[in-house]
Structure formats: C-alpha cells, structure tokens
Amino acid sequence: MKKILGMGNALVDIMISLESDNILELLGLPKGSMQLVDMERSNAVLSSLKNYQKSHSAGGSAANTIHGLAMLGAPAGYIGVVGEDELGGFFVRDLIQAGVDPHLIHSSQETGRAVALVTPDSERTFATFLGAAIELSAEHLGIQSADSTVQNLKSSIFKGYSYFHLEGYLVQNHELIRRAVELAKEHGLVVSIDMASYNVVEANRDFLLSIITDYVDIVFANEDEARALTGLEPEEALHEISKIAEIAVVKTGSSGSMIKSGKDQYSIGVIEVSPIDTTGAGDLYASGFLYGQARGLSLSKSGELGALLAGNVIEFMGSKMSGDRWDVIREKVNLV
C-alpha cells in the first residue's frame, strides 16, 4: 500500500466541555474559530476554566489525520517539532503506538497545546499556543543555513512516500509551505492540504490560491473555509476549487460532503451517530479519504470511508477513538 507523509503543528489537545456559548464570549474567542495565543493567554484561559474537567490527547490537524491512517493500517510518517517535556513525550508515544514513523525535531521550548472548548452543540473553538511547533521551518527540510545549530531533516525523507498531507494551520509560514511542496513534487508525491480554519484562510487567501494552483492535488475544506477561499457558497466553491486542484472536497457538516474531479462530482452522505464533539471530524475524514485513494479506490468510495471515520470520531470527546471502535471500523473498511 502507498505510504503517506504528514507535516503539521505537533500539539497536545486539552479538551474542555462548556455549559454554554457565553463562556466563549467572556474569553473573547469567536465560536468555531482557531485563535493563536501566547503562553500567557493560554494559561489565563486554562486558569479561568480550572474547575472544568479536562482530557488530553495528542493532536494537531495533520497529526490526527496521520494517526488515523496508521490506525487503519496504512504506512505513515509525520514531520513536526515537539519540546523535551512531558507533553512532548506524550505526543511521541501516541504516534509510535499507532504505528506512525516519527520524523521529529526536538526543541527546548514547551510543546504546543491547543485548548479545545466544546459547546453543547458539539462545536469546538481553539485557543492554540504553538510553543515548540512554531519552530518548524524551511531550514529543517534541507535548506542550507549558516546556523549550524539548526537540526535539518534530509530532503530524502520524502523518498518512499507517495502522498504528502499538509495542514492549513502551517500556511502562515509561507517559506516552509513552499519549500515542503516543492520537495514533495520533486519526489513525485501527491500533495493534499486541509484548509484548517476559516480565519487562517482569510488571512492567507492569495498565498493559498497560488500554492494550490501550482502544487496541490487534493484540497479538503469545510463550507466556511471554502467560502473564505472562494467567496462562494459550498457547491459553487467546490466547482471553483476543482478548477485549480485535481480533487476538491467540500465538507458540509451534517449534510455530508461533496467531491469533484474534472467533470465527475459526487455527494457523500453521513452515517447515523450520536455526536458528542466534532473535534477531529475533518481530520479523520481526510484519513479515510486518503486511505481510499492510497488503496486505489474510487472517489466516491474514498468519500464514504471519510464519512465513516468522521462519523465515528464525533461520538468521542477529542480527536481519538477507543481501540474497540477502531476494531469495528477496520472490519467495515476491509469490506470495501
């Protein structure tokens, strides 16, 4: 089976269930967004919610996708930066236990963390302190540097992989993204990107359009991100994105998803579930879809696998599922 390499912000998710949307307003966090915060603001958010129950899981959009792929049995690797601390060790162990080959830089900074606030309607809002994750740079991918202290990952890391998956949260580092997709294409990889968050897309729209046009083969976006990228409603946005990428995927929440490649278009439904938390739904959709593509399945079958994983993960708090649930999913996937 074809191998998939991912790259993203290596974060540990701290999940907190809220009683109402009012707390988001008090904290100044727009519902459904991802806000970058410094360590002081992150600590302040956690302090204000100190009496709420919390759970931890290794996260970051691309890491979630790669973890899901490995749990399905796909050979997968991951590029990121973690701190030499307890959270960093937790992140690395989580990848290795899933079967992911970690290509990690280690930093003296604290490991990044994403405080994920989940409202009663299962929507999640992130206050993200990038910490060590922000140190990932183009230099780590092989650009020569006068600074001999920089740890470089050899560009040959791309050899042996067939797919390269990026998270949109990295797009604010234009040099890193451009260098990564250049190397991926030099090694013949299919490049996919998940748009991440609508506010990130809005802030980097022109750059994203340029990168997608020149390098990206598969684009994943939810309806808000698709609207931020194109200025259009979901189906019209799907058509527009498919003009610059080989495969466009627009996810429309409880309505399912739409996939378009060339003149071929498919509507994919959702599975019946009892949602608790939407964290990781988009990431796991990408896991299922890329798994299908890596196995040579059709676009519609790949979309169905994406819907299967997305539907299952929203029945759990956070972006990870139990081992028993993965057993059930693998049985269903093997029947496809």
**DSSP state for residue 245 in the 8-state scheme:** S
Residue 144's pLDDT is what?
42
**pLDDT of 152:** 62
Task: Please tell me the predicted confidence (pLDDT) of residue 51.
Answer: 93
Q: Which are the contacts of 52, defined by CB distance < 8 A and separation ≥ 6?
A: 16, 17, 18
What pLDDT is stored for residue 279 in this prediction?
A: 81
Query: What span, in angstroms and rounded, lies between the C-alpha atoms of 301 and 260?
Result: 13
pLDDT at 155: 61
Q: Report how far residue 285's alpha carbon sits from residue 59's, in angstroms, rounded to the nearest whole number.
A: 15
Q: Using the structure block, give the residue that is written with the tokens 């202290």.
A: 149
Of 220, 189, 166, 41, residue with least CA distance to 114: 41
Farthest CA pair distance, the chain: 55
Residues of the chain with pLDDT under 70: 142-155
Give the pLDDT confidence of 43-69 residue by residue, as tens digits.
999 999 999 998 888 889 999 999 999
Residue ranges and CATH numbers for the domains of the chain are: 4-147+166-334 (3.40.1190.20)
Chain centroid, CA 244 distance in Å = 21
